[in-house]
Structure 1
């Protein structure tokens, strides 16, 4: 079972936004939570732009996101990195997985999947007649159940194959898939704990399997509560009254801290004062496990 991060190593955390639009409130909560966790461990906090999907990227979004983070006092402790610049590492890992038979070429597209969406292993033993290699999938058929202890969510176990079967690590368009890239890049930069939203909790067993197949030591895990609207729906990136855009940084920061169970006292108004209070009072026990609605709409 994967345990919490190795406390013998200097703590290194990260925030990894995708440049598909402006920084939204859910991402701000994840950034603030990961930053506070790193500072509480006297560790480093890094920013990595996950720019591996050019068709979905918005020109200038990465620069705008970094500038928005800076307005909230969130600055990386090292130069901002970009996943697209790690292509050689991704390719090396892909080759390793193919060479050791942990992965295989697949000639299936989405139209070949059954109604439940779980890949049935059509190409595990070779491409069927008439199929050309498109994507690369990681084998899950002989994988043990992957378990880990999340510092907020507690113990979590799942079998990667039950989520969707053998999963794609290189897409049909030639792009490296998220599940492989995130493992390779976190390992390469020495990330000791991944702090992110609980909507990615079920990705963790697949990533643990990738770590194991590559012979890498996994980090610890900390999944923050998902922020919802008043009806319990996850906030949309396109929400027109997202606090990041609709409120001042100090007002949006208060809401982000509220989502993390760390709302400062009423008299703590400035951004600097809120940061100081949050750093001095950060406590994992305050952070909710389940989804939170924090009244994000403008007054």
Structure 2
């Protein structure tokens, strides 16, 4: 029986912090316990925010923590064709449509209709009328160069799936078979005019192509697994086992984030902390 395959998949849009360290270390421990394989994926699909120096720092800091991974590393920016092919499959099923409202326009539509349903991350479900737009008007708007987002028609997608959607969970907030609820996300974005794939689409494609059997990641992605299970079902892909682990929070109770300038591992390392110190700080004595 082949060994289980795990992956750590950071984005090089900032330096790694303690939250990343916890996830990487938990993956490495799971690999050792299961006699599995450890893959590293660089999720650099957002080429405007990702930088070579951040990617170089990822390799350096993971090695400093004592984490080993297989080569070559999969870099999303080198595999746009894979995401395009997956999107075309969904389009051929009639499950994708373009919407043209900006985020500000969507916010205004929602404000006029409050209370309005929101997804598990707190964003409003898509309120626009693009789904009913005729094919000629869609093509004309796209050909004109107007910005657009390609959305999954959730109602049609769910109609194509037989049986109940669920996933196997062994994480910090739940265990066992978890019922998926992709409808809670509404018509999620799968790609944009200038971005070949959303996180949802790219992670499903990458996990399948890399043969990932076990996904160990933060609790902030627990509910997103519902969308991933739906896409896996639509593509006829196997579902990995999932473990969503606790998050490292700041003094205000918020998860650590690059966007909020969370203290980077490189800064802690410069202060003289050792890998053992990092393990203790993330609660892995």
Asked whether the two chains share a fold, i.e. TM above 0.5, the reply is yes
Aligned counterparts, 1:52-201, within 5 A: 52-113=45-106, 114-115=109-110, 116=116, 117-120=124-127, 122-127=129-134, 132-133=141-142, 134-142=148-156, 143=158, 146-152=165-171, 153-154=174-175, 155-163=177-185, 165-201=186-222
Cα 1:148–1:121 change in 2 (3 A) is farther
Q: How far does residue 70 in structure 1 lie from its aligned partner after superposition?
A: 0.5
Cα separation, 2, equivalents of 1:205 and 1:29: 24
Q: 8 Å contact 2:7–2:27 — kept in the other structure?
A: yes
Cα separation, 1, equivalents of 2:17 and 2:89: 37
Cα 1:147–1:236 change in 2 (3 A) is same
Q: Which region of structure 1 is more displaced relative to structure 2, 17-26 or 138-147? A: 138-147
Confirm whether residue 255 of structure 1 aligns to residue 248 of structure 2. Answer: no
Q: How far does residue 254 in structure 1 lie from its aligned partner after superposition?
A: 2.4
Q: 8 Å contact 1:107–1:123 — kept in the other structure?
A: yes
TM-score w.r.t. the length of structure 1 is 0.76
The C-alpha deviation readout for 1:169-189, integer Å capped at 9, x for no partner, is 111324311110111011001
Q: How far does residue 159 in structure 1 lie from its aligned partner after superposition?
A: 2.5
Aligned length: 251
Q: Report runs of 4+ in structure 1 exceeding 6 Å deviation.
A: none
Cα separation, 2, equivalents of 1:230 and 1:245: 18
Confirm whether residue 218 of structure 1 aligns to residue 232 of structure 2. Answer: no
Q: 8 Å contact 2:15–2:266 — kept in the other structure?
A: no
Q: Which region of structure 1 is more displaced relative to structure 2, 228-237 or 119-128? A: 119-128
Q: 8 Å contact 1:102–1:139 — kept in the other structure?
A: yes
2:113: which partner in 1?
none
* Residue of 224, 229, 253 corresponding to 1:232: 253
Task: Name stretches of at least 5 consecutive residues in structure 1 with no aligned partner.
Answer: 1-7, 264-299
Q: 8 Å contact 1:106–1:127 — kept in the other structure?
A: no
The C-alpha deviation readout for 1:97-122, integer Å capped at 9, x for no partner, is 10111222333332442324211362
Q: 8 Å contact 2:5–2:37 — kept in the other structure?
A: yes
Cα separation, 2, equivalents of 1:127 and 1:75: 52
